[in-house]
Amino acid sequence: MAFRSAMLGRVTRRGSDLGARWMSTWWRSVEPAAKDPILGVTEAFLADPSPDKVNVGVGAYRDDNGKPVVLDCVREAERRIAGNLNMEYLPMGGSIKMVEETLKLAYGENSEFIRDKRIAAVQSLSGTGACRLFADFQKRFCPDSQIYIPVPTWANHHNIWRDAQVPQRTFHYYHAESRGLDFAALMDDIKNAPDGSFFLLHACAHNPTGVDPSEEQWREISFQFKAKGHFAFFDMAYQGFASGDPEKDAKAIRIFLEDGHHIGIAQSYAKNMGLYGQRVGCLSVLCEDEKQAVAVKSQLQQLARPMYSNPPVHGAVIVSTILGDPELKKLWLKEVKVMADRIIGMRTALRENLEKLGSPLSWEHITNQIGMFCYSGLTPEQVDRLTNEFHIYLTRNGRISMAGVTTGNVGYLANAIHEVSKSA
Amino acid sequence: MVASVNASRFEGVTMAPPDPILGVSEAFKADSHESKLNLGVGAYRTEELRPYVLNVVKKAENLMVERGENKEYLPIEGLAAFNKATAELLFGADNPVIKQQRVATVQGLSGTGSLRLAAALIERYFPGAKVVISSPTWGACFHHLNLYVKLSQGVPWSEYRYYNPKTVGLDFEGMIADIKAAPEGSFVLLHGCAHNPTGIDPTPDQWEKIADVIQEKNHTPFFDVAYQGFASGSLDEDAASVRLFAARGMEVLVAQSYSKNLGLYAERIGAINVVCSSADAAARVKSQLKRLARPMYSNPPIHGAKIVANVVGDPALFNEWKAEMEMMAGRIKNVRQKLYGSLSAKDKSGKDWSFILKQIGMFSFTA
């Protein structure tokens, strides 16, 4: 203590730039945070000098040349708004126009819920921000509730509800043996959860497995949810990107709406409009009536304020420009289909290649699964071999991003997968 | 239509109170009187009372469109070129803290988002530590910390005296006394320049004494710099208080915003900087800031960051920006002068209106 005061005495001289430094110990207890598993893959890929390297860890769309894509409809929207955008703060709830168009996508163009103003909706920081806002809202207004999260799920879901201080439970989802849905166990978990539990569901193109319930199965899930009075929160990050048709990809949500559920939805334009870095999305909560929707919206805004005050404008105006212009919207729908079709094409190609190589294993799941990701069933050790021997980069859970697969590398990839798995 | 299944679990959701600041603008909009004036707005306006998009911003946006850059996710910590530019702008490129890599800089969602990241860091690593805030302070900031406290139950706060209504100036003795009285190891929230809402800034001499008492009590200074360049018209001059603390070798938190000085309000672009005593500490702190940001929004929005990086990174644009900023700050100073002149002439009571001239930045706290 005495030494410290002496040090203090020496450093508190006015205005002089001292050699002696204030030896604060504020941040001593700060450990380095664990590295993000997904980002680590990209870093390693970038550092690899091999000409054969393939990045199938990336969670962003790539064209057949492996290049990032900015959609034509987006370029056109940007051209229109560049330099012309008034930069005034958006309202706390974000761009009204963008939110209106976004709700139509999820709830239906002629949704009665939109007409009756029963949906509390705010612009959010993409899908992540929507999930976080909802988690905070859940914590504030249903403080004793928990969230049921599928196994597996996007890793950040766990971080989100944990930082919102909502306790988590898991429910069965992926069936390793069949590389498909563990439907029986899923239904058991729904039945065994206490009445009125909160569940996180992926509306389409489950991340990371690519395994979605069939329409039949969704109806059964919805029915069971009704019986138990559960709350369904849908994370819809891939609408349009899964089948190529946004209406089809919203099927699960529409089933729940038809069955009378009051749901919550997180929507994102990161993938389906390629607006990744712009962080554009929407959180919506279906309420009993307009009055409740107004109250809920006001509370969602209150939760957003201490995070960022109001959401960023640029991406929102790109979205509303596109969706508000029939020609641009048509172009967008076409471009989304192109992306989805390329992915579906690559799934087929990868599977066919593996079968042609005479692989003893079944690779049906590659084409059964849907969306950007394929849960290959490869073990961490096999993944390590893919990386170390073949310079193929993916996350150790065996998740392959089909967006990283091209006509140029699909043969090489199939070969490598065959090599590491043929004696399995 | 099937009857709804859940009696709403959100029955208890009451209407949130209206925003005190927005409420003013709403009332203004609703008023039909021809002489109406909105002096509540916290955004720059031209002589014609129009919002102002800076020329350099328009140029930068057009450049970005021409280049056809992609929209890939930024890293969690934000755009590297932006982070470099923003730290250098704040501390000066030659500052030892920069050269020694002792600053953890993470792109944030403007000032608010940057404050929030810092608050979350404080809550996690200094549970129970107090944040002391000036009385008054930015209304929303008060709300924000208040709301955040309610949400997290983690960051206790109290106020230090700041505004002296008798002098319409700084209650310096009160400020020092209250900072001194705060429990050792508190976080002291300071406005780098152009205090919001009073417009009253400490003098350089007073800043030294504030730094003294903060060091004496082992507090951590936490600057909110929302108006760099906008106050005096000079970027360097407006960063003097922050640089003074950094020069003493203190560990400092600084939240920055480009809402006002680059007019990028709606793009939500700012940064949180943590000056640490070592490069190792800075790396660890940065990793934890990222860990806090990931479950909030994954990675920050790209557009505003690119605009700032382009403007600051291009010497011609940078100079043009400095000129536009001088123009904006100049107009404010001009209006202060005119208001002072007009009031002094019209008011026969002998009241001293000079506080209008002494105060700085966008706001004036009237007596």
Distance from C-alpha of A258 to C-alpha of A276, rounded to nearest angstrom: 31
Among A309, A310, A320, A401, which would you mutate to test the B interface (most chain B Cβ atoms within 10 Å of its Cβ)?
Answer: A309
A285 touches B at CB < 8 Å: yes
Instruction: Look at residue B5 and tell me whether its pLDDT is greater than 80.
Output: no
A31 touches B at CB < 8 Å: yes
Q: Is residue A17 very low, low, confident or very high in pLDDT (cuts 50, 70, 90)?
A: very low
Distance from C-alpha of A403 to C-alpha of A84, rounded to nearest angstrom: 34
Q: Are residues A48 and A161 in the same domain?
A: no
DSSP state string for A103-139: HHHHH-TT-HHHHTT-EEEEEESHHHHHHHHHHHHHH
Could you tell me if residue B327 is inside a domain?
no
Q: Determine the average pLDDT of the residues in A69-91.
A: 90
B3 touches A at CB < 8 Å: yes
Q: Is residue A13 very low, low, confident or very high in pLDDT (cuts 50, 70, 90)?
A: very low
| A117 φ/ψ sector (left φ>0, alpha ψ -120 to 50, else beta) | left
Contact yes or no for B194/B287 (Cβ under 8 A): no
Domain that holds residue A54: 38-69+338-422
Q: Determine the average pLDDT of the residues in A219-224.
A: 98
Give the nearest partner residue to A87 out of B3, B143, B265, using CB atoms.
B265
DSSP state string for B249-301: T--EEEEEE-TTTS--GGG-EEEEEEE-SSHHHHHHHHHHHHHHHHHHHSS--
End-to-end alpha carbon distance in chain B = 61
**Maximum distance among all Cα pairs of chain A, rounded to whole angstroms:** 79
User: What are B17-53's pLDDT values in tens digits?
Assistant: 777 776 677 788 889 998 888 888 788 989 888 889 9
Q: Determine the average pLDDT of the residues in A15-25.
A: 39
pLDDT of A141? 93
pLDDT of A22? 40
Instruction: Look at residue A267 and tell me whether its pLDDT is greater than 70.
Output: yes
Instruction: Report the relative pairing of strands B252-257 and B220-225 from DSSP bridges.
Output: parallel
Instruction: Look at residue B346 and tell me whether its pLDDT is greater than 60.
Output: yes
Could you tell me if residue B367 is inside a domain?
no
B338 touches A at CB < 8 Å: no
Chain B: residue whose CA lies nearest to A124: B297
User: DSSP label at A33?
Assistant: P
Instruction: Look at residue A1 and tell me whether its pLDDT is greater than 70.
Output: no
Tokens coding B289: 């800031």
Chain B: residue whose CA lies nearest to A89: B266
Mean pLDDT for all residues in chain B: 90
Instruction: Look at residue A148 and tell me whether its pLDDT is greater than 90.
Output: yes
Contact yes or no for B97/B246 (Cβ under 8 A): yes
Residue A157, amino acid: H
3-state secondary structure B208-243: HHHHHHHHHCCCEEEEEECCCCCCCCCHHHHCHHHH
From chain A, the residues in CB contact with B58 under 8 A are: 82-83
Q: Determine the average pLDDT of the residues in B164-173.
A: 93
Closest CA relative to residue B227, chosen from B260, B197, B199: B260
Domain that holds residue B94: 67-315
Could you tell me if residue B213 is inside a domain?
yes
Out of B130, B224, B286, B353, pick the active-site residue: B224
Q: Do B208 and A15 touch (CB under 8 A)?
A: yes
Gap from A296 CA to chain B (nearest CA, Å): 6
Instruction: Look at residue A76 and tell me whether its pLDDT is greater than 90.
Output: yes
pLDDT of B43? 86
Number of Cβ within 10 Å of residue A175's Cβ equals: 16
Which residue, chain included where needed, has tokens 């700084």? B170
Could you tell me if residue B291 is inside a domain?
yes
Q: Is residue B150 very low, low, confident or very high in pLDDT (cuts 50, 70, 90)?
A: very low
Closest CA relative to residue A399, chosen from A380, A419, A424, A423: A380
Instruction: Look at residue A8 and tell me whether its pLDDT is greater than 80.
Output: no
A396-424 burial, b at 16+ Cβ within 10 Å, e below that, comes to bbbbbbbbbbbeebbebbbebbbebbeee
Tokens coding A134: 């909802």
pLDDT of B367? 62
Instruction: Look at residue A50 and tell me whether its pLDDT is greater than 80.
Output: yes
Could you tell me if residue B351 is inside a domain?
no
Q: Determine the average pLDDT of the residues in A102-126.
A: 98
Measured at the CA of B43, the angle between CA B38 and CA B46, to 5 degrees, comes to: 75
Alpha helices in B133-203 (DSSP H): 139-152, 172-181
Could you tell me if residue A367 is inside a domain?
yes
Q: Do A308 and B266 touch (CB under 8 A)?
A: no
- Number of domains observed in the structure of chain A: 2
Instruction: Look at residue A21 and tell me whether its pLDDT is greater than 50.
Output: no
Q: Are residues A254 and A308 in the same domain?
A: yes
Q: Determine the average pLDDT of the residues in B71-77.
A: 93
pLDDT of A295? 94
From chain A, the residues in CB contact with B9 under 8 A are: 141-142, 196, 231
| Three-class secondary structure of residue B307 per DSSP | helix
A103 touches B at CB < 8 Å: no
Distance from C-alpha of B291 to C-alpha of B106, rounded to nearest angstrom: 11
Residues of chain A numbered 146-175 and touching chain B (CB < 8 Å): 156, 159-160, 162-165
Could you tell me if residue A27 is inside a domain?
no
Instruction: Look at residue A159 and tell me whether its pLDDT is greater than 90.
Output: yes
A24 touches B at CB < 8 Å: yes
Q: Are residues A273 and A202 in the same domain?
A: yes
pLDDT of A3? 39
Distances (CA, A) of A379 to A62, A382, A384, A399, A417: 25, 5, 9, 10, 11
Could you tell me if residue B102 is inside a domain?
yes
**Following CA atoms A151, A154, A155, A158 in sequence, which dihedral angle do they give, to the nearest 10 degrees?**
-70
pLDDT of A424? 65
Q: Is residue A38 very low, low, confident or very high in pLDDT (cuts 50, 70, 90)?
A: confident
Domain boundary residue among A288, A306, A329? Answer: A329
User: What are A293-339's pLDDT values in tens digits?
Assistant: 999 999 999 999 889 989 999 999 999 999 999 999 999 999 999 99
A226 touches B at CB < 8 Å: yes
Q: Determine the average pLDDT of the residues in A414-422.
A: 96
Distance from C-alpha of A200 to C-alpha of B303, rounded to nearest angstrom: 31
Could you tell me if residue A30 is inside a domain?
no
Domain boundary residue among A307, A329, A351? Answer: A329
Distance from C-alpha of B256 to C-alpha of A197, rounded to nearest angstrom: 41
Residue B242, amino acid: V
Could you tell me if residue B233 is inside a domain?
yes
Alpha helices in A281-313 (DSSP H): 290-308
B281 touches A at CB < 8 Å: yes
Domain boundary residue among A308, A329, A350? Answer: A329
Burial class (CB in 10 A: 0-12, 13-18, 19+), A21: middle
Q: Which range is least confidently modeled, A115-129, A153-167, B21-35, B96-110?
A: B21-35
Q: Are residues A232 and A355 in the same domain?
A: no
The strand pairing partners of A151, in sequence order, are A172
User: What are A163-180's pLDDT values in tens digits?
Assistant: 999 999 999 999 999 999
Q: Is residue B145 very low, low, confident or very high in pLDDT (cuts 50, 70, 90)?
A: low
Could you tell me if residue A257 is inside a domain?
yes
| A141 φ/ψ sector (left φ>0, alpha ψ -120 to 50, else beta) | alpha
pLDDT of A14? 37
Q: Determine the average pLDDT of the residues in A350-378.
A: 95
Q: Is residue B148 very low, low, confident or very high in pLDDT (cuts 50, 70, 90)?
A: low
Q: Are residues A177 and A310 in the same domain?
A: yes
The strand pairing partners of A283, in sequence order, are A122, A266
Give the nearest partner residue to B9 out of A112, A142, A298, using CB atoms.
A142
Which of A14-23, A333-342, B7-16, B61-70 tops mean pLDDT? A333-342
What CATH number did the domain enclosing A129 receive? 3.40.640.10
User: What are B270-320's pLDDT values in tens digits?
Assistant: 999 999 999 999 999 999 999 999 999 999 999 999 999 999 999 999 999
Q: Are residues A285 and A218 in the same domain?
A: yes
Q: Which active-site residues of A does the annotation give? A: 154, 235, 271
What CATH number did the domain enclosing B302 receive? 3.40.640.10
Distance from C-alpha of B10 to C-alpha of B8, rounded to nearest angstrom: 5
* Segment A172-179 long-range contacts (CB within 8 Å, at least 24 positions apart): A173/A206, A173/A209, A173/A211, A174/A150, A174/A209, A174/A211, A174/A375, A176/A377, A178/A365, A179/A211, A179/A364, A179/A365, A179/A368, A179/A369, A179/A375, A179/A377
Q: Do B250 and A24 touch (CB under 8 A)?
A: yes
Distance from C-alpha of A199 to C-alpha of B245, rounded to nearest angstrom: 49
Show Cβ contacts of residue B27 under 8 Å, excluding neighbours closer than 6 positions: none
Q: Are residues A224 and A191 in the same domain?
A: yes
Residue B217, amino acid: K
From chain A, the residues in CB contact with B211 under 8 A are: 12
Could you tell me if residue A365 is inside a domain?
yes
Q: Are residues A312 and A362 in the same domain?
A: no
Q: Which range is least confidently modeled, A3-17, B2-16, B351-365?
A: A3-17
A116 touches B at CB < 8 Å: no
The strand pairing partners of B252, in sequence order, are B275
Q: Are residues A342 and A313 in the same domain?
A: no
Could you tell me if residue A26 is inside a domain?
no
Q: Do A303 and B151 touch (CB under 8 A)?
A: yes
Q: Is residue B8 very low, low, confident or very high in pLDDT (cuts 50, 70, 90)?
A: low
Residue A61, φ and ψ in degrees, nearest 5? -65, 145
- Number of domains observed in the structure of chain B: 1
Looking at chain A, the whole-number percentage of residues with pLDDT higher than 90 is 84
Gap from A321 CA to chain B (nearest CA, Å): 16
Closest CA relative to residue A266, chosen from A299, A242, A223, A300: A300
Could you tell me if residue A387 is inside a domain?
yes
Q: Are residues A252 and A396 in the same domain?
A: no
Mean pLDDT for all residues in chain A: 91
Distance from C-alpha of B97 to C-alpha of A22, rounded to nearest angstrom: 12
Residues of chain B numbered 46-85 and touching chain A (CB < 8 Å): 51, 53, 57-59, 61-62, 64-65, 68, 70-76
Listed in order, strand segments (DSSP E) in A269-420 are 281-286, 373-375, 392-393, 399-401
Distances (CA, A) of B276 to B96, B125, B170, B221: 12, 14, 30, 12
Q: Are residues A249 and A362 in the same domain?
A: no
Q: Are residues A305 and A269 in the same domain?
A: yes
User: DSSP label at B134?
Assistant: E
User: What are A193-214's pLDDT values in tens digits?
Assistant: 999 999 999 999 999 999 999 9
Q: Do A294 and B70 touch (CB under 8 A)?
A: no
